[in-house]
Amino acid sequence: MFENKDKSNTPLDKIGEFGLIKHLTENFKIHHKSTVKGVGDDAAVLNLTNNQTLITTDLLVEGVHFDLGYMPLKHLGYKAVIVNLSDVYAMNASATQITVSIAVSNRFPLEAIEELYSGIQLACDTYKVDLIGGDTTSSTKGLLISITAIGDAKKEDIVYRSGAKENDLLVVTGDLAAAYLGLQVLEREKQVFQVNQKSQPDLTKYAYLVERQLKPEARKDVIQILRDLKVKPTAMIDISDGLSSEILHLCEQSQVGCNLFEEKIPLDPQVIATCEEFELESTTVALSSGEDYELLFTIDQNDFDKIKGNPNFTVIGHMTEKNQGAHLVTRANQKVAIIAQGWRSF
């Protein structure tokens, strides 16, 4: 029989599908009483009675959404969970369970899939969500990951994209554009590496940007902070495709317009410095770059005092009457129409 001497390179067909699933999932902890049966039967069983249930899915395809040339598999697993949890938090809900489906080509050894699952497990433990199932299959080329997240919230707590009113304040969490610039830095280093395999990139000056690209976090903390402050946003969305397209979603679904103030857009100093280095316009990058996974929401003006001075939040504009449209007010006090220029992976 074929002996695999390289311990770090176990072919997947050696362990078999069922062995693989068991191996990958047996060390996951269950955090929620609502998980009655997780992995191991024909279907998971959940006991979701009191609240409303939220469900969201994302599909990530190698070469389209991620490049394993600079994305370590553990980070990929972590990020794949995060992007889904972010969608649940964007509804002002708690995330409770996930399913994970993967299609893997035989170019991946067992150890690679273990790495992927170690990132998934870290995200599950950090965000206290239960892995309750999934599917495993082979692919002729590359890696696909589809994750479904399940969450719950009281009916009256759920925040939709459609609730923003004229004169509401537009608020964003954290800062923007870092993940995109992290990707630009990594792309550049990859090209340098292709020319000179001995090159060792020094990324210290871009540490925050690279971290935002490779290890993004979902703003579970913000959902708790808003609860503690007794602020219920009138509308909310997570920023996965860039500020401009998310603002337009809020405006369209809420039937309002918006004034966004350029000078208010929160940017990290590394973002500003790296934009200069890459000769990019930081406002344009903030408007059009994706993958920040911050939350964008609107609040009633009466709630302003509750969030004022809180370092997690920046008021970047206000909503207007629908016919006024969605505009960026520049530093030179000019009004420019906001157009959708969201990050597109295809």
Give residues 17-76 in contact with ligand ADP (rule: CB under 6 A).
21, 25, 39-42
Judged by CB under 6 A, the residue of 125, 135, 221, 276 near ligand ADP is 135
How far apart CA 200 and CA 175 sit, in angstroms, is 29
Q: How near is the Cβ of 297 to ligand ADP at its closest, in Å?
A: 33
**Does 125 participate in binding Mg ion (rule CB under 5 A)?**
no
| Burial per residue of 28-49, b for 16 or more beta-carbon CB atoms within 10 angstroms, e otherwise | bebebebbeebbeeeebebebe
Q: Which of 100, 144, 159, 239 binds ligand ADP (CB under 6 A)?
A: 100
The residues in 193-232 that bind ligand ADP, with binding defined as CB under 6 A, are none
Of the candidate residues 133, 182, 242, 342, the single one contacting ligand ADP (CB under 6 A): 133
Cα–Cα distances (Å) from 219 to 279, 312, 315, in that order, read 30, 10, 17
Report the residue number whose CB is nearest to ligand ADP.
133
Which of Mg ion, ligand ADP, none does 102 bind, CB closer than 5 to 8 A by kind?
ligand ADP
Q: Which of 73, 102, 104, 116 binds ligand ADP (CB under 6 A)?
A: 102
Cβ closest to Mg ion, residue 135 vs residue 187: 135
Task: State the Cα–Cα distance between residues 157 and 51, nearest whole angstrom.
Answer: 10
- CA distances (Å), 311 to each of 33, 89, 171, 315, in order? 34, 19, 12, 11
Contacts of 212 (CB under 8 A, 6+ apart): 178, 179, 182, 291, 292
Among 13, 125, 135, 276, the residue binding Mg ion under the rule CB under 5 A is 135
Establish if 136 lies at the interface with ligand ADP (CB under 6 A): yes
Contact 222, 231 (CB under 8 A): no
At residue 69, φ and ψ (nearest 5 deg) are -60, -35
**Residues touching ligand ADP: how many (CB under 6 A)?**
14
Residue 42: strand, helix, or coil? coil
State yes or no: residue 77 binds ligand ADP (CB under 6 A). Answer: no
173 backbone dihedrals φ, ψ, rounded to 5°? -95, 155
Interface region with Mg ion, contact rule CB under 5 A, candidates 133-141, 165-173, 251-259, 297-305: 133-141
Distance CA 288, CA 243 (A): 6
Stretch of 97-105, 217-225, 244-252, 323-331 contacting ligand ADP, by CB under 6 A: 97-105
C-alpha distances out from residue 27 to 22, 23, 80, Å: 9, 8, 19
> Using CB under 6 A as the criterion, which residues of the chain lie in contact with ligand ADP when the complex forms?
21, 25, 39-42, 100-102, 131, 133-136
> Using CB under 5 A as the criterion, which residues of the chain lie in contact with Mg ion when the complex forms?
135
